[in-house]
A = this chain, B = another copy of it.
Amino acid sequence: MSGPAAPRRPRRHDPGRRDRLIDAALTVIAERGVAGTTHREIARVADVPLGSVTYHFASLEEVLREAFTRHAEAAAQVFDRRLSAVRDRDAAVEAVISLVAEDLLGSQDDLVLAVELYVAAARNPVLRAVTQAWMQRSRRALERHFDPTTARQLDALIEGLVLHSALSTDPMTPGQIRQAIERYLR
């Protein structure tokens, strides 16, 4: 035990701090939820003083918006990457299966972030815009290989599979994921 506060190395010059704060915010959202995301907690995770968070962001909502935007962008790139690499429909089906079984279910944090964004978006129009842009982008990616109706339904199925897996004590196995998607896409 060495006093009430940990010594903090001075770091007056720290370019890129704003970026690190956004990453720290995503960590906090995943760990404690949007409701547990406070200036203090973000500052603690980023190892910067409290005032630094309020200096770089005019409000907590701004932090959340930027954090979720960054997360959605990264998630959308995964979609794009998986689906732009394939040429025929069979490969597309495999790509969707891998996307769900590996990318989406692979990271517990990402699952949690998705659900947190959904619930936050239910009450915050700014975040709803982020969600909708994300949904639209994933639908566009699916439409490269599937007709619009199928793409939309598939997108909902993916969402449901991910959500169920995130909350279940008994998540689906990759084989079950494969079966569900193949059944839908013939």
Contact = CB atoms under 8 A, between A and B. Distances in A.
Query: By DSSP majority rule, is chain A's interface helix, strand, loop, or mixed?
Result: helix
A159 to B, nearest CB: 4
A121 interface: yes
A121 B167 contact: yes
A157 B159 CA distance: 8
Given A56-B4, A58-B3, A160-B156, A118 B121 contact: no
Given A118-B119, A122-B115, A167 B135 contact: yes
B159 A155 contact: no
Interface of A: 1-4, 32-36, 55-58, 62, 112, 115-116, 118-119, 121-123, 128, 131-132, 135, 149, 152-153, 155-161, 163-164, 166-169, 172, 176, 179-180, 183-184
